[in-house]
Structure 1
Amino acid sequence: MAMFCAEEYGVPPIAGRILGWLMICDPPEQSAGQIAAAIGASKASLATNMRVLTDAKFVRRRTRPGERTNYYRVDDDAWETVIRRRVASLTEFRDLAADGIDLAGTGSGRAERLRVAHDVYDWMAKLFTETPRPRTRKQP
């Protein structure tokens, strides 16, 4: 998970270790101290990377009534949220390529290179938006 997140999302490996732990830990909400102990990270490194994960909407920070400790968890909708943001970026790039085609002149070689990028991003955006959401099984 650490290497996947580093390569795919450009985050430090520690962020991937945190995410991996939060996906399998029990209980599903963990304090920073619990997470640091489980993955062998310093609290300072954990705090920095927790901010990365919460800003990206992978992880949510919560508090409990009467406690000052923050707890972190991966919400069930985190994956859909991340994918929806990716789909939105596909659409934005497709639209940017379309604008470039108009600026380059539709019949030019430059426009053709842009059209290839546009068509691939258009295909991916349509694929994601037209495909039904997968069903999830709820645990009893």
Structure 2
Amino acid sequence: MPDADRQDATLEWVERVATFCVEEWGLTPITGRILGLLMICDPPERSAGQIADAIHASRASLTSNMRLLTTIGLIRKVRVPGDRTAYYRIEDDAWEKVIQRKIAGLGAFGDIAEEGLALIDDANPARTERIRAAQHALTWLRDLAARHPRDATT
């Protein structure tokens, strides 16, 4: 594949990652583009300027999105000996962290559903069943992940 075609295909793939991140996780498109680029680039590290140029983002919007991704542990800043530029790379366990957070969030809602069950009486079986269905499904997932932490993320 010629270099220009490969670059176009790579940018299209990065955009697909961004679209997924927007639709599934509510992230901004730039955040998704950063993740996509850092997943596919070689070498795996890029400076903020290189990332901004590659995804056509302003430095200001890039900075806030990079800070978010660093804070939540999906990317990290790295230094190259003898180079004053800060580089960023995706964490090796980034996707495991995403899955763990998602499972924890769903499990937390299962706990809220349990609290809801305690608030109602059994006089209205339909209402009880709606809450019980949420509680059962979400706490099952949480408990499954707790029993098999590595299996739930690989």
Q: Please give the range of the TM-score, normalised by the shorter of the 2 chains.
A: 0.7 to 0.9
CA distance in 2 between counterparts of 1:18 and 1:118 reads 35
Quick one: distance in 1 between partners of 2:121 and 2:70?
43
- The DSSP-based 3-state class of the residue aligned with 1:71 is strand
Is the CA contact (8 Å cut-off) linking 2:73 and 2:91 kept in structure 1?
Answer: no
What SS is found at the alignment partner of 2:103? helix
The answer to whether the aligner puts 1:33 opposite 2:49 as a matched pair is yes
1:52 counterpart = 2:68: yes
* Superposed CA offset, 1:13-65 (max 9, x none): 11111100000111111110111112121211211211222223221123345
The aligned counterpart of 2:27 is 11
Q: How far off is 1:68 after superposition?
A: 4.2
Segment of structure 1 superposing worse, 94-103 or 57-66:
57-66
> Structure 1 segments of 4 or more deviating over 4 A?
64-68
Q: Which runs of 5+ in 1 are unaligned?
A: 135-140
TM-score, scaled to structure 1: 0.82
* Distance in 1 separating the partners of 2:19 and 2:68: 16
Query: Does residue 111 of the first structure (1) align with residue 113 of the second (2)?
Result: no
Query: Taking structure 1 as reference, are residues 106 and 78 closer, same or farther at Cα in structure 2, changes over 3 Å only?
Result: farther
Total equivalences in the alignment? 134
Paired AA for residue 7 in structure 1: E
* Aligned residue type for 1:82: V
Alignment RMSD: 2.1
Give, in whole Å, the separation in 2 of the partners of 1:107 and 1:34: 62
Q: Secondary structure at the match of 1:36?
A: helix
Q: Percent identity?
A: 53
Separation in 1 of the partners of 2:149 and 2:108?
A: 21
TM normalised by structure 2 equals 0.76
Q: 2:138 aligns with which of 101, 114, 121?
A: 121
Alignment partner of 1:123: what SS?
helix
Partner deviation per Cα, 1:58-92 (whole Å, 9 max, x = no partner): 21123345654321111111111121111211221
Question: Shift in Å at residue 128 of structure 1?
Answer: 3.4
1:115 CA displacement: 0.4
Match of 1:138 in 2: none
